[in-house]
Chain A
Amino acid sequence: AQSVTQLGSHVSVSEGALVLLRCNYSSSVPPYLFWYVQYPNQGLQLLLKYTTGATLVKGINGFEAEFKKSETSFHLTKPSAHMSDAAEYFCAVSFRSGSARQLTFGSGTQLTVLP
């Protein structure tokens, strides 16, 4: 069975500070891992994903994440927070069930950026 744990339901950072959102996963097979962002009253938008290959993955808006198999982690980082980064962030693991690749989501982390 696959599962995702996001540590910290709320994270606050100052504008210009490092953003670190934590995600740990459990998977019985090599995982595909995703980070999605949700802005208020909108759907989820893909930030980045890891499937195979390079373990450091770069995404949109300056975000990146590193797949660490030994730590079963896929933490999301951004060197310098911007006010526009304020949103909810979801980590997800993909697995094949039946005919489709399904996503299991973490419970989300609300990021607040302070001026």
Chain B
Amino acid sequence: DAGITQSPRYKITETGRQVTLMCHQTWSHSYMFWYRQDLGHGLRLIYYSAAADITDKGEVPDGYVVSRSKTENFPLTLESATRSQTSVYFCASSELRSDTQYFGPGTRLTVL
């Protein structure tokens, strides 16, 4: 029972580089979400997806791109990383018509 996994768990990159964070879930949940966690801000929603090929912006989408070609995968791309994108990123998923989200273990990203 793998649940929801994220890779890599830790990533260091440089300003201006492209970075992709991966999220994979084995439950066939319809909804998937990307959050960033910063000290003093809790978690803030970046993007979410209701199904394959359906995505929508959250609270803080600028500088990020998502895609969802398959139900189980929801990658998050930073096209040109900036230091302000240093954060811990969490992926989550939920079933259709459910109010409960299940979270992955997170990816700690450092942009130098």
Instruction: List residues of chain A with CB under 8 Å of any chain B CB.
Output: 4, 9, 32, 34, 36, 41-46, 49, 51, 90, 94, 98-103, 105-108
Contact = CB atoms under 8 A, between A and B. Distances in A.
B48 A100 contact: yes
Given A98-B56, A107-B41, 6 more contacts: A43-B103, A44-B103, A98-B50, A101-B98, A102-B45, A106-B42
Contacts of A36: 103
Contacts of A106: 42
19 contacts: A4-B42, A32-B99, A36-B103, A43-B103, A43-B104, A44-B43, A44-B92, A46-B101, A49-B99, A94-B99, A98-B56, A100-B48, A100-B94, A103-B43, A105-B42, A105-B44, A106-B42, A107-B40, A107-B42
B63 interface: no
Contacts of A98: 50, 56
A45 B45 contact: no
Interface string B90-108: 1010100011111111100
Nearest to A46: B100
- Main secondary structure, interface of B, reads strand
Contact of A99 (B4, B54, B90): B54
A102 B58 contact: yes
B105 A99 contact: no
Contact of B50 (A43, A45, A99, A105): A99
Nearest to A51: B99
Interface of B: 4, 31, 33, 40-45, 48, 50, 54, 56, 58, 90, 92, 94, 98-106
Contact of A101 (B58, B99, B103): B99
A48 B102 CA distance: 13
A43 B42 contact: no
Nearest to A101: B99
Given A42-B105, A90-B42, A49 B100 contact: yes
Contact of A45 (B44, B48, B98, B103): B103
